Amino acid sequence: MAESQGQQLELDVTNIAHGGISVARHEGRVIFVGDAIPGERVLARVTEDSKSSFWRADTLSVIEPSEHRQMHVWSSASVARKPEDRAGGAEFGHIVPAHQRELKRQVVVDSLKRFAKLESDVATGVTVEELPGDPDGTGWRTRVRLHVDASGRPGPYAARSHRVIPVTELPLATAAIQEAAPLAARFVGEEHVDIVQAGTGGARLIVGQQKPTTITEYVGEREFRLADTGFWQVHTHAAQTLTSAVQEAIDGELFDPRAHNLDLYGGVGLLAAAVADRFGSSTRITSVESDKAATGFASHNLSEWIGAEAATGRVEKWIAQLASSANSHDRARLRASTIVLDPPRSGAGKQVVQSIGGLQPAQIVYVACDPVALARDIGLFADRGYDLTALRAFDLFPHTHHVEAVATLTRR
């Protein structure tokens, strides 16, 4: 163990960092502190010495609390517990919701400044918008994964750990999920248990590698079929929020329904349907997804639009092949296109950005769940001739550090 580990320090917390941790300094060294709020003075214990310029620490007690501190919404994650016994997954639960959104806004703005070199009004003027629902930010999760320990007990992992923490409540989950969650049961030999609340039929348990079944979700009156083990937005209002946000993010004057429009990392077709719903039955759009089962559902979900289709393939390979094989007519349709992409947390990355930039679409709508990855990719798109022209952020994950953003990039 490094000599610094286990050391207890009184720290003045100065600002927020990406990942749900706060920043303090001790004798010139940066310390990332969990369960603290900028403006507080806390007693913290060093847990990790990276042998570089920073340490990590956990808050043991709060000496001078922030005016934005509240009683944690989840007692199992409270600072009153030993750090190693705190449930993960609600790292902002000790902060009043309005200030959570302010801290998330700061992270988005700082990420754009540091990784995209952007300080424009579009970048700095963003706010993090609250979703409908319970104003205290609980009761929104429609999907929960419980991990299982060696004795078969289910529960969340502790923060930054694979240690299962038994709990008696899941306050971020919907009432149906909370009622169905088998918190007192035993699942010896299993790795995890999922509880899923679909748009119809209530909550269901999925134990381990259980065979998937088909469920139906709704956005307004539109139905989407998918596997109960497949991806769907977690917040009860997230799918509708992102549908509307993507529709509004597209510049109608630049949209050509006859162009080779794309929906990358398209899942079961949620955002492709959002585009087609806005621009009508003549819309041509291809949804690309690596999961063959999801692509099959996307084909069904998009079947009412004759110009919509779903393709199975890894986006980086599919888009590179498109770029290399397109003839002059295809390239003209691609230059007129709108490309929507919703990549995983790691972002699209250099290869995909270069391929998209090479197609020279009229506009790009980028849906992101990680502000650092988004900012990095915006910087890469800038090198390919695209400017950030609109940006919205949404609090799709209250009481966590996660924030969703929808960015519009327009070709110069």
pLDDT in tens, 140-157: 999 999 999 999 999 999
| CB-based contact 343:374 (threshold 8 Å) | no
Q: At what angle do helices 328-335 and 349-359 cross, to 10 degrees?
A: 100
User: What pLDDT sits at residue 51?
Assistant: 64
pTM of the predicted protein model: 0.95
| Residues labelled as active-site residues | 369
Band of pLDDT at residue 54, cut at 50, 70 and 90: confident
**Position 33 confidence tier, pLDDT thresholds 50, 70, 90:** very high
Q: What is the average pLDDT score of the chain?
A: 95
Residue type for position 275: V
Residue 218 labeled ligand binder: no
Contact 123, 107 (CB under 8 A): no
Task: Decide which of 51 and 362 is more confident.
Answer: 362
pLDDT computed for residue 6 by the predictor: 85
pLDDT of 135 strictly over 80: yes
228 belongs to an annotated ligand binding site: no
- 366 annotated to bind ligand: no
Question: 289 among the known binding-site residues?
Answer: yes
What is the distance between the alpha carbons of residues 190 and 193, in angstroms, rounded to a whole number? 8
Helices marked H in 311-348: 315-325, 328-335
pLDDT-derived band at 134 (thresholds 50, 70, 90) equals confident
pLDDT for 1: 41
Full set of structural domains in the chain with CATH: 8-69 (2.40.50.140), 102-133+218-411 (3.40.50.150), 143-211 (no CATH)
Q: Is 250 helix (H, G, I), strand (E, B) or coil?
A: coil
Least confident of 9-13, 44-48, 360-364: 44-48
User: What's CA 247's distance to the chain center, in Å?
Assistant: 19
Backbone angles phi, psi at 112, to 5 degrees: -65, -35
Q: Are strands 285-289 and 308-312 parallel, antiparallel or unpaired?
A: parallel
Q: Is the pLDDT of residue 202 over 90?
A: no
